[in-house]
Structure 1
Amino acid sequence: MTYCVAMRLDAGLVFLSDSRTNAGVDQVSTARKMQVYENPGDRLMVLMTAGNLSISQSIRELLATHQDDAGHTIWTAPGMYEAARIVGEVVRLVHARDAKALADFGIDFNVSMIFGGQIRGERCRLFQVYSAGNFIESHCEATYFQIGEAKYGKPIIDRVVNPDTPLDEAAKCALISMDSTLRSNISVGLPLDLLVYANDTLAVTQFATIDENNQYFRMIRSTWGQQLKTIFEGIEAPVWNAAPDTTGHVLSSAGKRSQPMRAPLPPAMEPPGQPAAQLQTFAQQFRDGQQ
């Protein structure tokens, strides 16, 4: 599996991908998921992929040379929207060529992509491309896209990132998001590729491949875990069955108790002379006596 995240901010773009393609007891393989298409001074575009590796690699290879009906390639497309259309067209070409053969062996045509960058003369743009070649664009209401194992790293991004977040802060958030995913899912793994792009630079200026020895990422992993534990321990435990005059940290009140939905005991298990309703009354009286 994989985890990739990209953010479109007022100041530019952030891209982060892992490199694990298979995980098991005795086999772990890696492959880089980020591909850069760069013509310095004219355009900088980044493609990140998740899903079937053979499909992803075919798309990346064809994308570098494919011409659309208007004669445009990814290197000559007049804007990012047109470049994203070329990406989608290449996805459909690979599907037409390979999908049936894959299906004959019980393999789904499974690929998802994040594509973004800037072409001279227009703003930065970011797209998520699907297996059918269709795509959506990031706007202010949705400043980031994730593909792969997205659920573990999503909460921190939702709480921290907005369009005016500085690039370095967004990069830090992306790394924390990745660390949370690495911690919870073995199918995502190091090394990572991180690219931070500032508006109008039209070239790669900030890029790092991050392994287990990277000083900054090691600091992120240890500090984030310690700070989370400190915050957790600073939150008070709940108060159960609180007296009416209790005002702090009340989870349930003595006068407003809820009850779980209970399955009735089978008749053969009810004690003689004590039907289930009487047992529940007894349990309630026992809890009252514990206050």
Structure 2
Amino acid sequence: MTYAVALRLDRGLVFAADTRTNAGLDNIAQYRKLQTWRQPGDRLLVLMSAGNLAVTQSVLSLLNEAASDDDERPTLFNATNMYRATRIVGDAVREARRIDGEALKASRINFNSHFIFGGQIKDERPRLFQIYPEGNFIEAGDDTPFFQIGEHKYGKPILDRVARRDMSLGEAVKLLLLSFDSTLRSNLSVGTPLDLVIYEAGSLDLTREVRIEAEDPYFRKLSADWSEALRHAFSTIDDYGD
């Protein structure tokens, strides 16, 4: 399993994904689940994946293969806007299903792949999409500016309470890491290191990309401070019956 989350802000976009994958308790490995494409001054695109690793890697290979060809077919590097780029990702999901879907079904394995895709192309504002295993998708709006895929239930409550489109990029990073902290404490199928991408609106290039290890000083302090803040808040609320 995995966990990935992204937040669309007035100031830009923030993406975070874990790197743990497993096929049983004794077969745990690390794979990068966050991919970027960039043409400085023109576009910055980010894709995160969750689900069957073979399927998600197949989708990624199809996208990269198309982007490297010299023919005139639509690719992530010539899409005119984020909607068109998201359609290209959805088409790659459908192509992977066409290639492998029947074989997976014969082995009683679901075609299970979910994606978060976002970025900015030229003068269009930054946009964020969630893409389903069928290749269709939805876009993040002002009321719900975030998407999650994978093992999302533990990290969702704080997002529901705190996420706002007018947050600073620094606040957004703090929020996503707290969402991960809750998930890591409650689910062993999600694990460090975490991959983090910060994109500032209008920059049309990668603002910052970081890998956060388990012993990262900021992440450890964030986790400890959050635990202490929760214990303090709990102790200040009246007991039942008082």
Equivalent residue runs for 1:1-291 within 5 Å: 1-22=1-22, 24-66=24-66, 71-239=73-241, 249=242
Cα distance, 1:26 vs structure 2: 3.3
Q: Secondary structure at the match of 2:98?
A: helix
User: Is the CA contact (8 Å cut-off) linking 1:12 and 1:167 kept in structure 2?
Assistant: yes
Cα distance, 1:88 vs structure 2: 0.4
Cα distance, 1:92 vs structure 2: 0.4
Q: Secondary structure at the match of 2:125?
A: coil
- 1:35 maps to a residue whose letter is Q
- 1:170 maps to a residue whose letter is A
Q: Secondary structure at the match of 1:209?
A: strand
Q: Secondary structure at the match of 2:66?
A: coil
Cα distance, 1:138 vs structure 2: 0.7
Supply the distance in 1 between the matched residues of 2:126 and 2:26 (Cα, whole angstroms): 42
Supply the distance in 2 between the matched residues of 1:23 and 1:233 (Cα, whole angstroms): 41
Cα distance, 1:212 vs structure 2: 1.2
* TM-score normalised according to structure 1 size: 0.79
Cα distance, 1:23 vs structure 2: 6.8
Supply the distance in 2 between the matched residues of 1:49 and 1:26 (Cα, whole angstroms): 23
- 2:52 maps to a residue whose letter is N
**Cα offsets for 1:49-73 (capped at 9, x unmatched):** 0000000001011112337x97221
Q: Which has the larger radius of gyration?
A: 1
User: Is the CA contact (8 Å cut-off) linking 1:34 and 1:49 kept in structure 2?
Assistant: yes
Cα distance, 1:22 vs structure 2: 1.1
> Mind listing any 5+ residue stretches in structure 2 that lack a counterpart?
none
> Mind listing any 5+ residue stretches in structure 1 that lack a counterpart?
240-248, 250-291
Ranges of 4+ aligned residues in structure 1 off by more than 3 Å: 23-27
Structure with greater proportional strand content: 2
Supply the distance in 2 between the matched residues of 1:77 and 1:40 (Cα, whole angstroms): 15
- 1:58 maps to a residue whose letter is S
Larger RCO of the pair (alpha carbons < 8 Å, separation 6+) = 2
User: Is the CA contact (8 Å cut-off) linking 1:34 and 1:47 kept in structure 2?
Assistant: yes
User: Is the CA contact (8 Å cut-off) linking 1:23 and 1:186 kept in structure 2?
Assistant: no
- 2:39 maps to a residue whose letter is N
What's the RMSD between the two structures over aligned residues? 1.5
The range that moved more, 195-204 or 127-136, is 195-204
Supply the distance in 2 between the matched residues of 1:85 and 1:231 (Cα, whole angstroms): 45
Supply the distance in 1 between the matched residues of 2:59 and 2:25 (Cα, whole angstroms): 30
Supply the distance in 2 between the matched residues of 1:71 and 1:99 (Cα, whole angstroms): 24
* TM-score normalised according to structure 2 size: 0.95
- 1:2 maps to a residue whose letter is T
- 1:27 maps to a residue whose letter is N
The range that moved more, 83-92 or 154-163, is 154-163
Equivalent pairs, count: 239
**Cα offsets for 1:148-193 (capped at 9, x unmatched):** 1111111111111111111110110000000000000011000000
Cα distance, 1:9 vs structure 2: 0.6
Cα distance, 1:25 vs structure 2: 4.3
Query: In the superposition, relative to structure 1, how do residues 98 and 202 fare at CA in structure 2: closer, same or farther (>3 Å)?
Result: same
Cα distance, 1:229 vs structure 2: 1.1
